[in-house]
Structure 1
Amino acid sequence: MNSMTGPTGNDTRGERVPAVERATGRSWSDWLAVFDAHGARSLSHAEIAKLALATMPPGVDNEGWWAQGTAIAFEQHVGLRVPGQSSTGDFRVSASRTLPVDRDAAIAAWVAANGAAAEHLGHSVSGLRTSETAKRSFVRFSLGGAGKVEVSAAPKDAGKTVLAVSHEGLADGSVIERWRAHWKAQLGAL
């Protein structure tokens, strides 16, 4: 068993553990000791994330985000969830691309290329809608039998925008890579 494989044989996503260690300044073995000392294997995701936040070393930037990431890595490590699985048991996938345009142009490009699509991978599109907040622009829709999709555009820097597709509500993990490839192809075509 390597440092990223849990006792159940369930692999933690390879990049997650080193990223947690770098960001928090705490080794993975030390995080495991903290979680085990507090009985985290029997806690809910929210409780594990609160524990991670409460025991986060001082001076960690964006500690709430890293508490969530550390909790997810732990859950994957001990077999409470597999990569791509949400805390509610369904599966999700995401893909993103940085575009050299502002957020409104990024969303407009997505809508022009994909807004009229009646389906994605054989699943019908319904409820397509756009919205925006002070920080992001969105396109959201449902896919018959395959969950919900949110496309978001957020400014990055100097006229660039991160366009991200988040797809949740997948029934199982076997379709994650198929959907990831689909969303990457859609983003790559812009």
Structure 2
Amino acid sequence: QNNLHELWALLNFLLPDVFGDSEAFDQWFSGQDRDQDTVVQQLHRVLRPFLLRRVKADVEKSLLPKKEVNVYLGMSEMQVKWYKKILEKDIDAVNGAGGKRESKTRLLNIVMQLRKCCNHPYLFEGAEPGPPYTTDEHLIYNAAKMKVLDKLLIKFRQQGSRVLIFSQMSRLLDILEDYRTTGTRLPVSPGTRPQRTLCQDLAAQTW
């Protein structure tokens, strides 16, 4: 739920005798003298008898704990070139010139373009050498992340491990498809799940 009133609407639908007055519900939790943590704690106490909340550790005890490792990389020569191009093209937005709303929109666009550059420069039209377009080693050495990924996949292959690679950019997955020799792509859009057969194919694959 996005706000307290939407939460009340849901509770009113489930238990109209208990949660009948929306104004009283809103006032109960929206007192100006209460900090955010206090409101959240009170919400938990009220909802505890009505909602069953279970975390992964309670439901699936056989899963290993998630381990997150952040690796910081320097960009390739091509990435540095495109990074500078993006900044120089929109230098006014970077320096805050123009209207406030316009500058914010342009800055958000710059951030997205820089993010694409950090993922792979071939996401930009004209960056990939060609024609002819070939899936050669340039696909790896022109992007820092691809260099590390290539080394990691060699290591995981030797260990017999399977790998899942997530990306919010479908075009980046296209590049990875050009790079990979084996594997299955699981196309998942927001609010959907990959097909069970594709997941089963992935689980059955070996190097």
**Structures share a fold, TM > 0.5?**
no
Which has more radius of gyration?
A: 2
**Which structure dedicates a bigger proportion of its chain to strand?**
1
